[in-house]
Amino acid sequence: MKQVSEDKYEKVGELMEVFQKFAKADWRKKTMWGLKASEIRVLTTVKKGNDKGSSVMTISEISRTLQVTSPTVTQMVNSLIASGYVERSSDPNDRRITEIRLTEKGDKLAQKAVMRYHELFKGIIDELDKERSDQLVSLLNQVFLYLEQFANIEDE
């Protein structure tokens, strides 16, 4: 019986190495079109908000979606404003709330980025095939949930 237990965990080191490779992979960190990857993610987040029917997003909404702090988002938004990709305005009902909207230039770049990400992930599906891609999605969701639970246990 002990042999089965050892065999079950023989790939622990390999699994750890794969996760380290993903952590170091630069496909999400790459500068594109003169912007940092994080700034591109802000643009695509606002674009997705637009596609869901909202013409503006708040710093808090962007922060929540990207799971980064509001000051981090503010810094990226300031850079995007300076480059002409987004505009900032105050909510007419509550001047404490800052609204972020894409400019035409920002909208075009966000569309381009979304298309590029779609092509990247379509390539993964082509590489693996549909059935294995479906399995990968299911497994990664399961791993994500496990890691979330593990993080919550560690915090206690």
Q: Which domains does the chain have, with CATH numbers?
A: 29-155 (1.10.10.10)
pLDDT score at 27 = 66
pLDDT at residue 93 is higher than 90: no
With contact defined as beta carbons under 8 Å apart, do 112 and 44 qualify? no
Residues 6+ apart with CB under 8 A from 117: 44
Q: Which residues make Cβ contacts (< 8 Å) with residue 103, sequence separation at least 6?
A: 84, 85, 86, 87
Residues 6+ apart with CB under 8 A from 61: 49
- Could you please report the per-residue DSSP string of 52-66? TT-S-EEHHHHHHHH
Q: What is the pLDDT of residues 115-141, one digit of tens each?
A: 999 999 999 999 999 999 999 999 999
pTM of the entire structure? 0.77
